Structure 1
Amino acid sequence: MSGPEPQDIHVGSDGIRLNPFLKFAGILDSGGDAKEAIIDGYVAVNGEVERRRGRQLRVGDVVTFEGRSFRVQA
């Protein structure tokens, strides 16, 4: 059984880096909080833990944090 559908986050382009995405989407309040969450392994991209802040996200990628999922949309 799968969880709820990911919330679509429109980034206005073909992609965005992971760290700014977390702040832009309102998932975390600051870039510093996003950096810590990523480095500590609390963020997953497409189901796999991602520890690179500069990971380039593409349209359709799904970011998960604390049981909530967000899908990158153009």
Structure 2
Amino acid sequence: MADIKYDIIEEIGILSENARGWRKELNLISWNGAAAKYDLRDWAPDHEKMGKGITLNKEEAGALAKLLVQREL
């Protein structure tokens, strides 16, 4: 598997943290030099390891926010 390069442009927030210190974070990340996207995934404390996650462009993130507001979570 090729190396994946990422640059965390902005750390937006932490949703949760487990006992091992891994945190579920929402960040703005540039993957392999591409335009930054919203990214939700688990990260090791040093940001050197990551779990599976999802990336959303601005429009998708806005649509998700509207859906969550409609559900009145």
Name the TM-score, length of structure 1 as normaliser. Answer: 0.24
Return the structure number with greater strand share. Answer: 2
Structure with the bigger RCO (C-alpha within 8 Å, sep 6+) is 1
Q: TM-score, normalising length from structure 2? A: 0.24
